[in-house]
Structure 1
Amino acid sequence: MYRFKGFDSAECGDSMSALEAIVNAWMEGEHPRIRHVCQSMRGEHILLTFVYEDTKQLEQRVSSHAQTGVTGGYQRFFDEDLSDDRPTSPRIPATPPPMH
């Protein structure tokens, strides 16, 4: 799920180092997977906005799938092909067709 986060330099007295510290603390604490960032001006203030994926939420999904034994949806199809007694799958040729 995508989320939105905004930072306004007015919140830190327009200090660039304070704004950096706030943004860095958020990044270190949340570990967001940033998909889009935008910097714009609001009067004399800098606005930084981020669209991101919450990696903690992604990790929880992966961990819950691992605990329930759910793997990638395609894995069972590949397993079935491998356990097939036929020497090759009719859908995928063993050798590529000749180049003309």
Structure 2
Amino acid sequence: MYRFKGFDSAECGDNMSVLETVINAWMEAEHPRIRHVCQSMRGEHILLSFVYEDTRELEQRVATSAQTGVTGGYPRFFDDELVDERPTSPRIPATPPPMH
């Protein structure tokens, strides 16, 4: 599940060092898998927005799927030894025939 987190430089007195420290502390504590970052202005202040996945939730889903044999939320239904018994169809040529 995607989540949103925003940081406003106004909350840090517009001190970039403090803003960096706050963001780094969040990243170290949460270990987010960041999917999108946006920087915008709000008057004289900088807004940083993150769309991320919570890695703990992601790890939990992976662990659950490994236990149940379900990958990506879908059961595995392809058998490696399954033989396709359908008649073969003519192959499509890699290059189209020349145009006249």
- TM-score range with shorter-chain normalisation? 0.7 to 0.9
**What root-mean-square deviation, in Å, do the aligned CA atoms of Structure 1 and Structure 2 show?**
2.3
Give the superposition deviation at 1:6.
0.2
After TM superposition, list the pairs within 5 Å mapping 1:1-100 onto structure 2. 1-67=1-67, 69-72=68-71, 73=74, 75-79=76-80, 82=81, 84=82, 88-90=83-85
Are residues 97 and 37 of structure 1, via their aligned partners in 2, closer, same or farther at CA, if it must alter by over 3 Å?
same
* Unaligned segments of structure 2, at least 5 residues: 96-100
Does the 8 Å CA contact 2:9/2:16 hold for their aligned counterparts? yes
* Unaligned segments of structure 1, at least 5 residues: none
d(CA) in 2 for partners of 1:46 and 1:31? 23
Return the structure number with greater helix share: 1
Are residues 97 and 44 of structure 1, via their aligned partners in 2, closer, same or farther at CA, if it must alter by over 3 Å?
closer
Using structure 1 for the length normalisation, give the TM-score.
0.73
**How far does the alpha carbon of each residue in 1:37-82 deviate from its partner, in whole angstroms, 9 at most, with x for none?**
1111111111101111111111111112223x22324634134xx1
User: Is the partner of 1:40 in helix, strand or coil?
Assistant: strand
User: Is the partner of 1:19 in helix, strand or coil?
Assistant: helix
- Paired residues in the alignment total 90
